[in-house]
Amino acid sequence: MNGAELNRIATAMVARGKGILAADESTGTIKKRFDAIGVANTEDNRRDYRELLFRSEAAMHQYISGVILYDETIRQKAKDGTRLVELIERAGSIPGIKVDAGAKPLAHCPGETVTEGLDGLGLRLSDYRKLGARFAKWRAVIDIAAAIPSYTAVSANAHALARYAALCQEHDIVPIVEPEVLMDGDHDIERCAEVTEFVLKETFQQLYHQRVSLEGMVLKPNMVIAGKKSPRQAGTQEVAERTIAVLRRCVPAAVPGIAFLSGGQTDEQATAHLNAMVAGGNLPWSLTFSYGRALQAAPQKAWSGKAENTAAAQAAFAHRARMNALASKGAWKPELEKEAA
């Protein structure tokens, strides 16, 4: 393991004023996105859409530090024969790859899941590194309900995350460690804070046991936020303060940076919450974004599968990327959203 190189890449992934584009939707997930804009879910359409993003010079060169890819995408070529990975590298961004096999029901734990994909992971990582991946992502999913999460589910997912991270570093690939506490329920922000602290503490305990170098990883957590069905939705400042309080209790300063997931927030919510956290200042880690839908919803709608809409879609992508880049510096303001995308 080349610890210095892992740290260099991890630090570049969370560079000030830049963030990570999560373009790792599975074929099934991107079908839902395409259905919403009336686009057929074909391999060519998936390629054309992602090529559109990766050729968006304003966004990719200025605001995007890394791109998380799906297995299909890391092997694809653009219409002119250029590998999509090469387009990302040309833009000065770092290619990455989603390597988990998804969340599956966890035995004896009704309503809970564990993320699978450890079998054969070492060989796949070796292959992905040859294809250009320099970092990877693994997502654990923790739901909140009356009797869950259980310690069984939290510990199983934390252990899998840690084993994945150790394998990544063994293959000189930076692991993004993503323990996501979902915001789908009716829980309040206090309950989210309690569960997020539980999950993060268990995750870092397991990372320690698996001898993962904290300097060579990036954390991708949820923000501390009330469930979508909660009658009391916290304001921007409360979300920021509670999230930072939990992170301070759980995340060692050795971690180079934290790249938040948007987790079902609206575009502007995800931006405003990140901005408020960074604006608070005096943090031991770099804070930035690793958004999927919160970066892509606007360009997908603008594109709608039509080649003549490419420029408009790229402008929409650049606008959202710029808004989040400003937020990662604590310099975003709501009035900036009124600017034409």
Q: Are 173 and 223 in contact (CB under 8 A)?
A: no
94-98 and 19-22 as β-strands: parallel, antiparallel, unpaired? Answer: unpaired
Q: Are 292 and 25 in contact (CB under 8 A)?
A: yes
* DSSP 8-state symbol, 141: E
CA dist., res. 169 & res. 158, Å (int): 17
Q: What long-range pairs does 299-308 form, CB within 8 A, spacing at least 24?
A: 299/52, 299/53, 300/33, 300/34, 300/36, 300/37, 300/49, 301/37, 302/341, 303/37, 303/49, 303/52, 304/37, 304/38, 304/39, 305/34, 305/37, 305/38, 305/39, 305/40, 305/45, 305/49, 307/48
CA dist., res. 60 & res. 123, Å (int): 30
Instruction: Choose, from 201, 220, 306, 338, the residue flagged as catalytic.
Output: 220
Q: Are 41 and 27 in contact (CB under 8 A)?
A: yes
The angle at the Cα of 147, spanning 145 to 153, to the nearest 5 degrees, equals 90
Amino acid at 223: M
CA dist., res. 72 & res. 175, Å (int): 20
For the question of residue 220 being annotated catalytic, the response is yes
Nearest to 298 by CA among 33, 25, 26: 33
**Active-site residue numbers?**
220
